[in-house]
Structure 1
Amino acid sequence: MDWEVEQMDVKTAFLNGYLDEEIYMEQPVGYVQRGKEDRVCVLRKSLYGLKQAPRVWYYTFYEVMIAERFTRLVKDHFVFIKTRGNDICIIRVYLDDLLVIGTKPFVAEIKEMLKRRFQMTDLGGVSYLLGWHIERRRSERIIFVHQEKYATKVLDRFGLAQCRPVRLPEETSQKLSESDCPTTDAEKQEMEKFPYREAVGSFMYLMMGTRPDLANFVRQVSRYLHNPGPHHWNYVVRGLKYLNGTRDYGITLGARDVTNATLAHALSAYSDADYANNVDTRRSVSGYVTYLFGSSPISWRSSLQKLVTLSTTEAEYVALASTVQVVLYLKQVMHELGYDHVDPVRIGEDNQATFRISNNPEHHGRCKHIDIRYFYNQRRQQAQDIDVFYCPTDKMPADILTKALTPEVFCRLRELVGVRSRTVVLGERT
């Protein structure tokens, strides 16, 4: 398709919207007249600082999109699409930042329309957005996305930019627990000296953007934001040391060789679980990763299951149900964007019993106690929305999302999950 991917910025976006509510403000400095000091101003338009400002701006932009005959996606209200013959334009909104994607002449036309409607800054082809470096190799049909600049800022902020890197964000021998939390006021006060929450928040932004290899680590340290102890902080410091050695790592979108086979199975996923992982509650951990064209990771998650499962099979089946829901959502988004994924979405599963249960609608004694909602997997399999296939554990990329691993396994699965160094993907900087 070779579409354009352009970036635009709306100048003073929040000042564009008209208010529906009656809101008053104090007179600004230099405006007050003698004898009218007790007067207030009635706000007609939105201002920065109003809690309504983001919502007012969004609906102002929405009304423009509808007037220009764009359609808002049902499954994502921040994406708008317009087609005209063979031309297409997709606009993704993030506050005052816009991505304008589509066929070249149509994108140019839509950009001119936006400039007439709002005061805009045309930034051209996207290269840096929301802390993400976006490097496109058009001839190779790939886009490499990483957060090296943001990672460097994080390391500078916490004083570890010159630290010795480590190969892993977490060790298999270490476990975090509630028992490591401070219990006395003195211990809690001592921990206030350490920027635990700020560091975890920084990791979370990295993980959600381009670093699925950090997902299990972030899940672990996020559980103790309310009351972190010294052991939790040391865990975070180790994560920062790992980040220092991998700051230019990111994900590759697109595919160098797209065939009819890869198009037929454009969307795929892998699901995994680690049974009774949590030492405090013995709840299991779910992990999934979804791909486009077999190698472009587009969503991932590591999460603690909401219930205590009684076997590895049950834990895997519960994890699979979450993966199926995400896959069907993505399938619906693709449909709204004009791509109908006709074939069932393939989901890899490394537990033989879970694979058999998903593919066999007959009753299985070992799972008769499982909540009926988790049999959603079977229904979707029978409806041919999904196709659960067996994936050997050593080839299961979602395994990296559920537990700490040895260096050899972690590095191999990091490659499988789609996280690579910029140097490996694009070569040395010139």
Structure 2
Amino acid sequence: MDQIDVLKKQLKNAFEMKDLGATKKILGVELLRDSKKGILKLSQHCYIKKVLERFEMVNSKPVQTPLSAHFRLSCNQCPRTEDEKAEMSTTPYSSAVGCLMYAMVLTRPDISHAVSAVSRYMGNPGKEHWRAVKWILRYLSGTADYGLIYGLKGGTEVDVEGYVDADYAGDLDKRRSLTGYLFTLSGCTINWKASLQSVVALSTTESEYTATAEAFKEAIWLRGMVTELGFEQRQVAVHCDSQSAICLSKNQVHHEKTKHIDIKLHFVRLEVSKGVVKLLKIHTDDNLANMLTKAVPAAKLEFCMNSAGICRL
């Protein structure tokens, strides 16, 4: 009898295997299951409450949007004198933005644009930047029990679908544009991003096309991931509200307004021609990615959130 057999014999009646109770929290994310309805909810309610307590915003008056359109953040609002810098040095700006980032990355796509805006000034924040951070916290104080929900829209078919948008020259400092995209799986949000583009776009078309290229790369990766999980999806649909970007993805003819666009972006055309990803026109009113690139009105934000499965749990 070898050592393995001896060990098995010794452990035969030493313990009894049991299934462990379903996990209710991981990395600060609360998992709420309804097995009968086939629904899974992800929430950071407790985490957000602790953040609000930490920055003394529990009793703050809630606001309806993550960032109001009246905030026009720029480097011109950064402290200029030593006294101003000394005053802002006591403000927990970086800590607050870091806490907001954690919520945004895990369960709150709706604050992506706002967090992207305030995170640009972590090196030297001013009073207006701090007011913007507190505005986001006020928004979270009224939506702390919001989160992602999976299963309501899900049917038997696994289907990845994307939405992409760009805000041309939205960055007031370097006039860079903002890319925003959101992907759903069977109608439930699984992936999102809001970030400044690495180069300065020279036209709205270029900014939209650059955003589309980023979304296509993500679509291809998600398609591969779904395939590895055993689900076959021949083509991923990406919705865009820019007719010019859609035309550029199909038209092989260069003209004066687009010849400056870097050739690397034209891999979009290749993927469209291969049938891996299809770029579809969507009205801007129906584009879920709008909330990732700009400050939208409360009604539009509510529509985007409901459509993306971000709701009160």
TM-score (norm 2): 0.91
Going from structure 1 to structure 2, the CA distance change for 1:393 and 1:256 (only over 3 Å counts) comes to: closer
Runs of 4+ in 1 over 6 A off after TM superposition: none
CA contact (8 A) 2:165 2:293 kept: yes
Going from structure 1 to structure 2, the CA distance change for 1:335 and 1:157 (only over 3 Å counts) comes to: same
How far is the alpha carbon of 1:197 from its aligned partner? 0.5
Partners in 2 of 1:214 and 1:257 — Cα distance?
A: 24
Counterpart selection for 1:175 from 68, 72, 81: 72
Partners in 1 of 2:306 and 2:153 — Cα distance?
A: 17
**Partner deviation per Cα, 1:75-126 (whole Å, 9 max, x = no partner):** xxxxxxxxxxxxxxxxxxxxxxxxxxxxxxxxxxxxxxxxx9xxxx985212
How far is the alpha carbon of 1:231 from its aligned partner? 0.7
- 1:106-121 alignment, distance < 5 Å: none
How far is the alpha carbon of 1:181 from its aligned partner? 0.6
Matched, 1:144 2:41: yes
**Partner deviation per Cα, 1:357-396 (whole Å, 9 max, x = no partner):** 2233344543221001111111111111101100100000
Matched, 1:288 2:188: no
Partners in 1 of 2:19 and 2:295 — Cα distance?
A: 44
1:202 aligned counterpart, secondary structure: helix
CA contact (8 A) 2:170 2:176 kept: yes
1:140 aligned counterpart, secondary structure: coil
1:268: which partner in 2?
A: 161
Matched, 1:240 2:137: yes
1:345: which partner in 2?
A: 236
Question: What residue identity is the alignment partner of 1:350?
Answer: D
Partners in 1 of 2:263 and 2:74 — Cα distance?
A: 32
Q: Structure 2 stretches of 5 or more lacking a match? A: 1-14
1:124 aligned counterpart, secondary structure: coil
Question: What residue identity is the alignment partner of 1:182?
Answer: P
Partners in 2 of 1:130 and 1:122 — Cα distance?
A: 22
CA contact (8 A) 1:268 1:290 kept: yes
- Higher percent of residues as strand: 1
Question: What residue identity is the alignment partner of 2:128?
Answer: H
Partners in 1 of 2:201 and 2:137 — Cα distance?
A: 33
Matched, 1:371 2:272: no
Structure ID, larger Rg:
1
State the Cα RMSD in Å. Answer: 1.8
- 1:132-211 alignment, distance < 5 Å: 132-211=29-108
2:257 aligned counterpart, secondary structure: helix
Going from structure 1 to structure 2, the CA distance change for 1:139 and 1:172 (only over 3 Å counts) comes to: same
Partners in 2 of 1:395 and 1:141 — Cα distance?
A: 27
CA contact (8 A) 1:142 1:256 kept: no
Counterpart selection for 1:307 from 199, 202, 207: 199
Partners in 1 of 2:217 and 2:37 — Cα distance?
A: 32
Q: Structure 1 stretches of 5 or more lacking a match? A: 1-115, 423-430
**Partner deviation per Cα, 1:159-183 (whole Å, 9 max, x = no partner):** 1111111111211121110011112
How far is the alpha carbon of 1:257 from its aligned partner? 5.1
Partners in 1 of 2:126 and 2:43 — Cα distance?
A: 31
- 1:69-80 alignment, distance < 5 Å: none
- 1:1-16 alignment, distance < 5 Å: none
Question: What residue identity is the alignment partner of 1:240?
Answer: L
Question: What residue identity is the alignment partner of 2:199?
Answer: L
Partners in 2 of 1:138 and 1:391 — Cα distance?
A: 35
Going from structure 1 to structure 2, the CA distance change for 1:250 and 1:308 (only over 3 Å counts) comes to: same
Partners in 2 of 1:373 and 1:255 — Cα distance?
A: 39
**Partner deviation per Cα, 1:209-252 (whole Å, 9 max, x = no partner):** 00000000010010000000111111111111110000011111
**Partner deviation per Cα, 1:23-61 (whole Å, 9 max, x = no partner):** xxxxxxxxxxxxxxxxxxxxxxxxxxxxxxxxxxxxxxx
Question: What residue identity is the alignment partner of 1:322?
Answer: E
How far is the alpha carbon of 1:420 from its aligned partner? 0.7
How far is the alpha carbon of 1:151 from its aligned partner? 0.4
How far is the alpha carbon of 1:410 from its aligned partner? 2.0
1:283 aligned counterpart, secondary structure: coil
1:133 aligned counterpart, secondary structure: strand
Matched, 1:405 2:296: yes
How far is the alpha carbon of 1:406 from its aligned partner? 1.8
Higher relative contact order, chain-length normalized (CA < 8 Å, sep 6+): 2
Partners in 1 of 2:42 and 2:196 — Cα distance?
A: 28
How far is the alpha carbon of 1:405 from its aligned partner? 1.4
2:282: which partner in 1?
A: 391
Going from structure 1 to structure 2, the CA distance change for 1:147 and 1:122 (only over 3 Å counts) comes to: farther
